[in-house]
Structure 1
Amino acid sequence: MTDNLIFMDPFPRNEAMVYTPYCAAALADMGRVVAHWGSRAPDDLVEAHLAVMTILIGQTAMPKERLDRAPNLRAILNVKANWEDNIDYSECHARGIQVLSAAPAMAPAVAEFCLAQAITLLRELHLADPLFRAGREAYGVAGNGSAKCLYGAEVAMIGYGNLGRALAPLLRPFGVRLMVHDPWLSDGFLRSEGLEPVSLETALSGSDVLFLLAGVTSDNEGFLGRPLLETIRDDATVVLASRAGIVEFNDFLALAGAGAFRAAVDVYPEEPVPDDSQIRTTPNVLFSAHLAGGLHASYARIREMMLDDIGQILKGLPPLRMQKADPKLAAKMRSR
């Protein structure tokens, strides 16, 4: 046991996700653990431990005033896999406090899900099943009248972060033209990744398959409104996989429902979606309930990355596994 205090406030994550017996034992070897479950830790519990806190695991609010009262804090590990606006990222950076996100742990499962959604839409598998059950199926080419193939398709990704980096290797074996629009990344970097940098207009109008992977920031919330959405290639396959906030959601569903393009949606402006929401009655859309990343394998990766990086930090070494916050960019994020 060391003098390090590891404070766990990981809501909405629960013990099964981030505090299995193995994980608990590993953390206990690194320091004294104080954990709160079922809600975000109450202020009095946080304040009682600020002075001796070494590692914070969770999404606890840490403005400058709290950081002033946490002289021993060395790292904040967000295991919800996004950046919240309740941390003073610039102050953490100035003090050498590592702020990390578990987002890379979720990316493989989400990327796999995106590929499955795209192929399902292209091959119209979601339509074939009910036809078969109703005895209205057609066999072979007769049943593939409007089906499409991913092989050799023109594919675009809007956003090339953790998810894009996980998805690109899954797409390459299909021999696709792989285009990316990401205003935060240079054309030279994208080319070094084997990608074709393109304008937003080209990504929307020039792709057979379009993956919407960007995070939501204070600069881009709702930037894909109807005028831009209407430029998407007719009958393209569109997968909304990152955050619903990057599109004008009602316009997106109206166009997809009218058959302007094929769409798969796994994220929503409000979750859970209300039972009486009109979203549920939208035709021609493949819906799922934010299922892409929430697998046991994803949480196992979170635990593994978390333990690795806490070990590094307590040794005075840089973290290697989780994503480091860029103060300017993290402060702009509006993901929920």
Structure 2
Amino acid sequence: MIHEKPLILFDPFPRNEAMVFTPDVSAELGRLSTLVTHFGSRAPDDLVESVLADVEIIVGQTAMGKDRLDRAPKLKAILNVKANWEPNIDYAECQRRGIDVLSAAPAMAPAVAEYCLGQAISLARGLPAADRLFRDGLEKYGIGGNGRAYSLYDAPVGLIGYGNLGRALAPLLKPFGCRIAVHDPWLSDRYLETQGLVPASLEEVLTQSRFLFILAGVTSENEGFLDRAKLAQIPEDASVILGSRAEVVEFDAFLEMAGEGRFRAAVDVFPEEPVPADALSRQTPNVLFSAHLAGGLEPSYARIRDMMMDDIRQILAGLPPLRMQRAEPRQAAMARSR
């Protein structure tokens, strides 16, 4: 089939129209391209097959193994607006063919970083408990109510993982005068030093942090790597924020230790979502829970739309994309995020 304009397949599930296909996006893509859309589920195979010969850009996490890539000679880019790499794309083959595979993950990072900072302060200052005491008429004023409170200022901070989330969080922490130690096996010590950070081993980050931010993405190599033995190295009464993926920790052990008061904890992510009604987490005390709320704000989706459209314009103009995150084949193929 001959198209006067480049063909774009818009297959963004689980994103919906309100998130990534607002009227302004729809109107501009309609002007720029021949647009084929599918919402509510992943595009069915027959729809994908019907456009393979002519498609130039795919928006979504449509399965694109080598066999499909062979039948998509015009394909220039795959833009993943879900923000997690999935193992349904042959990333190495895309790189070999010069097909850009891009992720909107950086768009979520500012909101998640903001969440992490807010939860850290809430935990350290004991604000959830203070609220409960006040409502029960048991509050104490001033220093009398701050017996277990501590401050983020000048505190030792540890980050496990320094990807999009870590890079968004570190600038928010620096005004507090924190010493920020980072463990990330994918990054060189010298790179971290150029960012004003202290490279550290996992043991050093676990044992020396008053505030610990767990920000690592989950891969085939690190599922559950923060097991009970490693969690036991966290200092007593430290504040621990689990803000990336639950699968990187031994989750039941994490809840047990936090529930017993071994350390303070804020949790936004769970091994199963939605969380079952009878899940252990719902009966665990002393943990500040939220239902995967950290990144899912309208400003985050506005950033996704802005980055997506900017890079689509670049690609259609024959220029390299600038805003979304480019897949590194080895890392993307190892990713295990849902």
TM-score (norm 2): 0.98
Instruction: Indicate which of 240, 252, 255 corresponds to 2:257.
Output: 255
CA-to-aligned-CA distance 1:54-83 (integer Å, 9 cap, x gap): 110011111111111111110000001110
Distance 1:26 1:194 in 2: 41
Q: What secondary structure is seen at the aligned counterpart in 2 of 1:76? A: strand
2-side partners of 1:166 and 1:55: how far apart?
Answer: 29
Residue 26 in 1 paired to residue 32 in 2? Answer: no
Out of 201, 204, 210, the position equivalent to 1:202 is 204
Matching of residues 166-185 of structure 1 within 5 Å:
166-185=168-187
Which residue does the alignment assign to 1:81? 83
CA RMSD of aligned residues (A): 0.8
Which residue of 25, 28, 53 corresponds with 1:51?
53
Deviation string 1:256-286 (CA, Å, 9 cap, x unpaired) is 1111100000000000000111210001100
| Matches for 1:134-173 after TM superposition, within 5 Å | 134-173=136-175
CA distance in structure 1 between the partners assigned to 2:32 and 2:103 by the alignment: 20
2:53 partner SS: helix
Aligned residue in 2 for 1:322: 324
Q: How does 1:1-336 map to 2 (within 5 A)?
A: 2-336=4-338
Give yes or no for contact 1:78–1:100 (8 Å, CA) kept in 2: yes
CA distance in 2, matches of 1:31, 1:111: 35
- Once the two structures are superposed, residues 170-228 of structure 1 have per-residue CA deviations (whole angstroms, 9 ceiling, x without a partner) of 00000001110000000000000000000000000000000000000111111000010
Query: Could you list the runs of 5+ residues in structure 2 that have no partner in the other structure?
Result: none
> Would you say how many aligned residue pairs link Structure 1 and Structure 2?
336
Q: Is the 8 A contact 1:8 1:34 kept in 2?
A: yes
Cα offset for 1:2? 4.9
Q: Answer whether contact 1:2 1:30 (CA < 8 A) is retained.
A: no
Question: Identity over the aligned pairs, expressed in percent?
Answer: 67
For 2:138, give the aligned amino acid: R
The DSSP-based 3-state class of the residue aligned with 1:157 is strand
Q: TM-score, normalised by structure 1?
A: 0.99
Mapped to 1, the partners of 2:267 and 2:35 lie a distance apart of 39
Secondary structure, counterpart of 1:66 in structure 2: helix
Report the 3-state secondary structure (helix = DSSP H, G, I; strand = E; otherwise coil) of the residue aligned with 1:291. coil
